[in-house]
Chain A
Amino acid sequence: MDLSYSKDELAFQNEVRSFLKEKLPQRMSERVRSGGELTKDDAEEWHAILNDKGWLAQNWPKAFGGAEWDAVQRHIYDEEAALADAPRIVPFGLSMLAPVLQKFGSKAQCDRWLPRILDGSDWWCQGYSEPGAGSDLASLRTAAVREGDHYIVNGQKTWTTLGQHANMIFCLVRTDKDVKQQEGISFLLIDMDTPGVEVRPIVLLDGGAEVNEVWFTDVKVPVENLVGEENKGWTYAKYLLTHERTNIAGVGFSNAGLEAVKRIAKAEMSGGKPLIENPHFAARIAQVEMELMALSLSNLRIVSKAAKGGAPGLEASMLKVKGSIIRQEINDLARRAVGPYALPFASEAIEGANEPPIGPDYAGPVAAQYFNNRKLSIFGGSNEVQREIIAKTTLGRMQ
């Protein structure tokens, strides 16, 4: 065991630092630092900058044009990117779909789709959840019926994050109703410009509209867009969930969030002194910071093990639960730190007024972020589902 960076790792850290210093546009880092949402153009521009450097597909094997970073390199990038207020990398194509294609897709599919993910030709979204299939994902009902060279898809997906920006969606669809639920699901790639696909935004409690409903009415999908074998989609979906969850703990986000809380708590006054000197508030910051220090090491340990062939399923669930709790706690601290200035509600939905918001700039987004990040313990398998996996795996292992 050795917690210090090796010479190579230090050199890599320097390289990441100077890259971010040179290439990260200031307006983007300012936007990230102030908690603002980035536009589609921003995301595409940042992806292109990373891609030029060969750092966009950090987890992909080199054979597919990836950087093939190990766990420590990814950790270093996440840490430096958070410190520099770099935008996050949109994960749907890069770290959700791509590993499935690389493992289960045909060569033709890899050749066709992977370069388009790298160069930004396609923006992917994920078609998993349905109104009746949340934590119980296998009960999904969106159906694909084979007719000649096509599947005809009918049904509805929901909670489709950034679907409004996407031109492609990877979907779990039902291709057999007469077998055990998990055995009748297929993994299908659908062009969202196909007639019969309709995207409707869902306004969330924070006022934003990052998620959507996606409706399919007699949508014709060529059979070559089936990934792997028909009715094996559940296996691929589980692979996607358990294999590529390297950032599931969200350590980088939490580090950046905690730094922001400290900045706010130094600026805000309480009883005539900076809030950060208030013993109760200082204790809450310290407690979550200690948890985050441990989580950061857990993340590194577990991801290093996974890279060496360990089974990350159970551990990924642990990282998900603890990581989401810590991020939510940090959001709560930020909300409290700004005091009454958490109250003004600047919704995207009611935007249009040109008045500057009341209160300090840093206060603007924190209440909305707090509400928005309640999602962290709900999506990707709710924390209760994760606890179920942890308990059943542990008790099962002992039998």
Chain B
Amino acid sequence: MNFELTEERQMLQDTLRRFLSDKYDVATRNSILESDAGMSADIWVQLAELGVLGALFSEDDGGFGGAGFDIAVVFEELGRAGVVEPILETCILGGGLISAFGNKSQKGILETVIGGGTRLALAHGEPRSRYDLSRVETVCRGGKLAGHKSMSLGAGNADHVIISARESGAVDDKEGLSLFLMKTSDLDLRATPVMGGGMAADIFLDGFAVTDDMRLGPKGGAFEALETVQAAAITAICAQTLGGMETAVRLTAEYLQTRKQFGKPIGTFQALQHRLSDMLIEMEQARSAVIGAAGYLEADPKQRDRHASAAKNLLGRIGRMIAEDAIQMHGGIAMTQEYELAHIAKRIVMADHMFGDTDHHLERFIALSAA
């Protein structure tokens, strides 16, 4: 056992933190949030040049990382700065599935992803699936896709999207799910900005003809890979949320020292001191949960998923507490869009709506522990 970052990861963390503090300040971020695209193509290219995207892929895929702790390091920093660009969607979800299943030509896309030239998204969720990974009503019959993919994160800014569809089995069977990789521009897509940043989309498939070269991976055999990338996505979103908490707690502690009421800094009041302490204590727990998720990401699926669900549940609970307490202890100022905390708090809380929420992962943890 050892709890030190490797030299490479320490460098990655330092470089990314410096870059974001120089190039991704609150004003920049707020202008990105107000833009039509909801992201900055400029920042995207620079992140690629820094090697941030490459750090999320293994050497086999042309990157130089891709392990749980690479994911944790990168997303914690992205979370601290509240970065809204669709890195998780592109590298972890889209990139993860292409890495698992891609043929030679499909894997060629990864090179342009790492270089900053292509963005990806996964369209898996549906109006009635909620967080259930195996429940897919969209079908592929006779070479045609029919169904409605909903809240596909990052699809509003993606060049390629991976669509899941059922080719056999009952509506919630694990078997029978297939994936198709296609250009976003060919699809009937309705984009929507996301609370907390990013651009999602719903995709309407009404007899969309698929060709063989669109097929990603074996017919009907996508479920395990979907679970694997979801575990990686959970690690990423939990690390991102941890980073957000660090910023929320830092802002709150600073505010406690500068804001004066009743003639003294509000940080001298014990009621607020104890709340700050609880935030710090819980954040330490969150940090350990992220380390657990990252450290077991390459373990056997049961162990991996048990730690992932534990992390997602804890981060959901702790995130809500820290976001709410940070807003409460700031008072009115935190209610403004302009103040830094607003965006961070939104990202922390909205993370609980991605890849399964607190309750979903509580149930999953119980099931995995009993099995």
Contact = CB atoms under 8 A, between A and B. Distances in A.
Interface of A: 1-6, 9, 72, 279, 282-283, 286-287, 289-291, 293-298, 300-301, 304-305, 315, 318, 321-322, 384, 386-388, 390-392, 394-395, 398-399
Contacts of B274: 384, 387-388, 391
Contacts, number: 118
Interface string B242-254: 0000000000011
Contact of A1 (B267, B291, B307): B291
Contacts of A394: 253, 276-277, 280
Nearest to B318: A294
B257 interface: yes
A324 B296 CA distance: 27
28 contacts: A1-B2, A1-B3, A1-B5, A1-B294, A2-B2, A2-B295, A3-B292, A282-B366, A286-B362, A289-B310, A290-B313, A293-B307, A293-B310, A294-B285, A294-B286, A295-B285, A301-B3, A304-B1, A322-B285, A387-B273, A387-B278, A390-B276, A390-B280, A391-B276, A395-B256, A395-B267, A395-B276, A399-B257
B369 interface: yes
Given A295-B288, A318-B284, A322-B285, A290 B273 contact: no
A384 B313 CA distance: 27
A1 B277 CA distance: 27
B295 A294 contact: no
Contacts of A295: 285, 288
A61 to B, nearest CB: 22
Contacts of A395: 253, 256-257, 267, 273, 276
A5 B1 CA distance: 5
B37 interface: no
A398 B254 contact: yes
B295 A3 contact: yes
B365 A286 contact: yes
Contacts of B362: 283, 286-287
A298 B273 contact: no
Nearest to B291: A297
B253 A392 contact: no
B3 A300 contact: yes
B69 interface: yes
B289 interface: yes
B219 to A, nearest CB: 36
A303 to B, nearest CB: 10
Contact of B366 (A4, A283, A291, A315): A283
Contacts of A291: 285, 314
A235 to B, nearest CB: 25
Interface of B: 1-6, 69, 253-254, 256-257, 267, 270, 273-274, 276-278, 280-281, 284-289, 291-292, 294-296, 307, 310, 313-314, 362, 365-366, 369
A2 B296 CA distance: 9
A328 B46 CA distance: 50
B285 A1 contact: no
A290 B291 contact: no
Given A290-B310, A394-B280, A395-B253, A9 B1 contact: yes
A290 to B, nearest CB: 4
Contact of B253 (A1, A321, A398): A398
Contacts of A390: 276-277, 280-281
Among B292, B296, B362, B366, which residue has the most Cβ atoms of chain A within 10 A?
B366
The 3 closest A-B pairs by CB, nearest first: A3-B295, A391-B273, A297-B288
Nearest to B9: A1
A6 B1 CA distance: 6
B281 A318 contact: yes
Given A1-B2, A290-B313, A301 B291 contact: yes
Contacts of A293: 288-289, 292, 307, 310
A389 to B, nearest CB: 8
Given A387-B273, A388-B273, A298 B369 contact: no
Nearest to A302: B284
Contact of A304 (B3, B5, B296): B3
Contacts of B254: 398
A72 B284 contact: no
Contacts of B69: 1
Contacts of B286: 294
B257 A398 contact: yes
Contacts of A392: 273
A197 to B, nearest CB: 39
B2 A294 contact: no
A309 to B, nearest CB: 13
A286 B277 contact: no
Contacts of B4: 1
A398 B314 CA distance: 27
B1 A300 contact: yes
Nearest to B310: A290
A295 B318 CA distance: 14
B257 A321 contact: no
Contacts of B292: 3, 293-294, 297
A6 B2 CA distance: 9
A2 B278 CA distance: 28
A321 B281 contact: yes
Given A3-B1, A4-B1, A398-B254, 8 more contacts: A279-B366, A283-B366, A290-B314, A293-B292, A294-B292, A318-B280, A322-B281, A392-B273
A384 B270 CA distance: 10
A6 B256 CA distance: 44
Contacts of A286: 362, 365-366, 369
Among A2, A286, A304, A395, which residue has the most Cβ atoms of chain B within 10 A?
A286
B240 to A, nearest CB: 17
